[in-house]
Amino acid sequence: MDKDFNELEKKLNIKFNDIELLRQAFVHRSYLNEHPTFELPHNERLEFLGDAVLELVVTENLYLNFPNPEGDLTNWRASLVNSKILSKIAEDIGMDDYLFLSKGESKDTGKARQYILANAIEALIGAIYLDSGWESAKSFINQFILCELEHILENKLYIDPKSSFQEAAQEKEGATPTYKVIKEFGPDHAKSFVVGVYLKNKLVAEGEGSSKQEAQEDAARKGLESHDWES
């Protein structure tokens, strides 16, 4: 069953000159493995282009609107263009309904789907840029992505919990935290990890995530909370 991309255009308030560019932005590589005669290529080249456009639009906006040092701007930009927030924005837009996925990929709703959605929104930006130019791509990014900046700054979501916990631990306890995997579970393609953060060999908190890095960040966040070091 084909997808009604005219409805998506209305939702995005964009009219494509070449609707096939819009459709291509949603074609995942896995779909072509099952449909080798499909008329469009996958979206990875569009994603490559859209990633660069997104980064430049966000960088320009931060540079022009904030006098903060380069380190702050880098952290803010990273918090705006990471896969977690991009996939959330893609879900809010309803992009999930338009993806061309293999049967296997369409059943996966975990971390893998998050990356697919994040890549698709970058591919969509690439398609908008090719079809309508810089200003249209910029307008889309302002409307759907840069609008998240206020929430990120208010809630300090740009702060890396591992760095914050390490700084606080060294200042208040004279100790550097260490991390250890306590448990791994789940199939190879969708593993989960439980990681402990330790101070002076004492377990402070445990965190869980779909990667060791994610679990470490969760443990550090919980360590900050348990010690009331969040401020």
Given 47, 105, 122, 218, the catalytic residue = 122
Residue with tokens 């879900």: 91
Task: Identify whether the C-beta of residue 120 lies closer than 8 Å to the C-beta of residue 43.
Answer: yes
Task: Give one word for 186, left, alpha or beta, with left for phi > 0 and alpha for psi -120 to 50.
Answer: left
Residue in 64, 62, 47, 65 with CA at minimum distance from that of residue 129: 47
Report the C-alpha gap between 158 and 171 in whole angstroms. 21
Report the C-alpha gap between 112 and 116 in whole angstroms. 6
Given 51, 105, 131, 218, the catalytic residue = 51
3-state DSSP assignment of residue 203 = strand
Other Cβ atoms less than 10 A from the Cβ of 162: the count is 19
92 is catalytic: no
122 is catalytic: yes
Other Cβ atoms less than 10 A from the Cβ of 103: the count is 9
Which of the residues are catalytic? 51, 122
